[in-house]
Amino acid sequence: MLGRIFITGALKNGSADRAGIYKSLVETCSRYSQQIYSPLDSLAFQNMRTDLYRSMIFAAVARANLLIAECSVPSLDTGMEIQEAVRINVPMIVVAEAGTTISKLVQGSTNIRQIIYYANLDDLKYPLAQELEDFIAERA
């Protein structure tokens, strides 16, 4: 079992709500960790002062044993959270819809374990679960 998993990514793409992606990621990850933070959790902090929110998010990244970055939609917040994970050497798994171009800066991050492309949410579950199992086995 992993300690904490931090999931990052854009909640909106224009008017499209992407909550289903994060619900699916949380569902898959919940078999491997009891402490999961996702963009859905950030909705509770919409009225928080920005400096406090930034500090809270970066502290959550620092406590994470693994960061999962959903990179189908470019997001400055996601990029900042990825950079913080790189800075403090938190291992990462990147996931993105098939056909997505992931930036070279993200692809070149030294602590990425794997980039998983998926056609649909069912297509994502098995490779993500396998990577989580491998990560746990390596840490044992």
Q: What is the tens place of the pLDDT at every residue in 52-62?
A: 989 999 999 99
Structure tokens at 43: 């909705």
Scanning the chain, the segments in alpha helix (DSSP H) are 19-29, 39-42, 50-63, 76-87, 104-107, 121-139
So what's the pLDDT on residue 94? 98
b/e burial code for range 100-117 (CB count within 10 A of at least 16 → b): bebeeebeeeeebbebbb
CATH of 2-139, one of 3.10.129.10, 3.40.50.450, 3.30.420.60, 3.40.1030.10: 3.40.50.450
Q: What is the model's pTM? A: 0.94
Asked whether 136 and 128 are in contact (CB, 8 A), the reply is no
So what's the pLDDT on residue 1? 84
How remote is the C-alpha of 46 from its chain's centroid? 19
Place 132 in a pLDDT band, splitting at 50, 70 and 90: very high
